[in-house]
């Protein structure tokens, strides 16, 4: 275990995810924030962006001010393709770990990154040094890697519910429908530029139809866990609330399986996972159950058809879907108690 406090730089400090991350780290007993970096608002205090942050912290500065030899860990909360440039340049500092909250190191094949993100990966030689890290699935391996790729919010909610069932072959891998709804914070501070729909503040909007980028993560991770192709439809929606994410997963169970077996397997798999709560069978859940927390709540429900099941999975998209999971991954990587600074 890392005995002293970790010296941390946060790059991308003033976005929604960055601010939640700094708020968590400011209360973490093993975290010492040395740098808060952004492109704009240089010299401003972080409290001018988030009044929840009470601790005195460094003012916002530019990346070139970082003394890399004095840093242990870098969190990067940046637009896609930015983290890969920074990590490629500074991977030579052998003592530094990087936790990237963008998509830059989520995909293990650089050609797939280009296919999904429309641009060449600029640091493909260091992709092997990265680990795609949903915390609950990487506890044994995360300490071995210097680049920790935080997963997307939708894939986090979906995989926590589905991966245990895929591994145990309890569900049919065809005709899976995944309907996810997220608060608008998932689109970042410029969400109104991304969504030009009428009555945006009062609308539910379907987007990413047919090819949402998070499908690349799902494809990759499903393939890791089964030799059979998982056939699914995924469609996300933005709802008129700031934070929170609910995935509704409709699937068919195997002949040798049952709703109760699915429920019991999820209970068994997540028994020691402190942040995963499996609710009673057929319980209705919503995002209000998990907002402002690092928890994921999962509910297995029967439907009118005996062989069809719906699983609901709720998280806070900015916490378990981003900054909270990043801190959880930090705890695991440095040998701290997994829940430290999160409960």
Find the DSSP H helices in 27-152. 82-90, 110-117
Could you say which residues of the chain have pLDDT below 50? none
State residue 59 phi and psi, 5-degree precision: -75, 160
Predicted pLDDT at 91: 97
Predicted pLDDT at 200: 74
Predicted pLDDT at 191: 66
Predicted pLDDT at 216: 97
- Tell me, yes or no, if 301 is annotated catalytic: no
235: part of which helix (H) or strand (E)? strand 232-239
Predicted pLDDT at 210: 87
Distance (Å) of CA 267 to CA 10, 138, 171, 231, 315: 36, 18, 16, 25, 17
Distance CA 321, CA 275 (A): 12
Predicted pLDDT at 312: 98
Predicted pLDDT at 201: 77
Contact 304, 318 (CB under 8 A): no
């Amino acid at each position: 275990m890392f005995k002293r406090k970790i010296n941390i730089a946060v790059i991308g400090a003033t976005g929604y995810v960055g601010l939640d991350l700094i708020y968590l780290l400011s209360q973490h007993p093993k975290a010492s924030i040395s740098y808060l970096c952004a492109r704009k608002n240089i010299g401003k205090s972080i409290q001018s962006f988030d009044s929840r942050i009470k601790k005195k912290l460094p003012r916002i500065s530019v990346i070139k001010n970082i003394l890399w030899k004095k840093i242990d860990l870098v969190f990067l909360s940046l637009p896609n393709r930015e983290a890969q440039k920074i990590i490629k340049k500074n991977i030579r500092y052998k003592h530094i770990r990087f936790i990237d909250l963008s998509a830059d190191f989520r995909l293990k094949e650089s050609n797939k990154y280009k296919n999904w993100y429309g641009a060449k990966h600029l640091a493909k030689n260091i992709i092997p040094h990265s680990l795609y890290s949903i915390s609950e699935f990487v506890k044994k391996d995360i300490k071995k890697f210097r680049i920790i790729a935080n997963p997307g919010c939708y894939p986090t909610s979906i995989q926590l519910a589905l991966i245990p069932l895929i591994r145990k072959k309890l569900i049919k891998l065809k005709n899976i429908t995944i309907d996810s709804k997220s608060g608008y914070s998932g689109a970042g501070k410029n969400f109104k530029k991304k969504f030009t729909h009428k009555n945006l503040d009062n609308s539910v909007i379907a987007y990413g139809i047919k090819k949402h980028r998070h499908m690349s993560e799902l494809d990759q991770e499903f393939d890791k866990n089964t030799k059979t192709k998982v056939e699914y439809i995924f469609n996300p929606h933005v709802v008129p609330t700031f934070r929170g994410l609910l995935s509704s997963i409709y699937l068919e169970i195997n002949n040798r399986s049952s709703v109760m077996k699915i429920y019991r397997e999820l209970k068994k798999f997540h028994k020691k996972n402190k942040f995963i709560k499996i609710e009673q069978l057929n319980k209705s859940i919503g995002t209000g159950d998990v907002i402002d927390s690092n928890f994921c709540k999962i509910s297995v429900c029967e439907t009118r058809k005996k062989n069809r099941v719906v699983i609901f999975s709720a998280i806070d998209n900015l916490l378990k879907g981003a900054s909270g999971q990043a801190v959880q991954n930090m705890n695991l990587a440095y040998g701290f108690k997994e829940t430290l600074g999160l409960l």
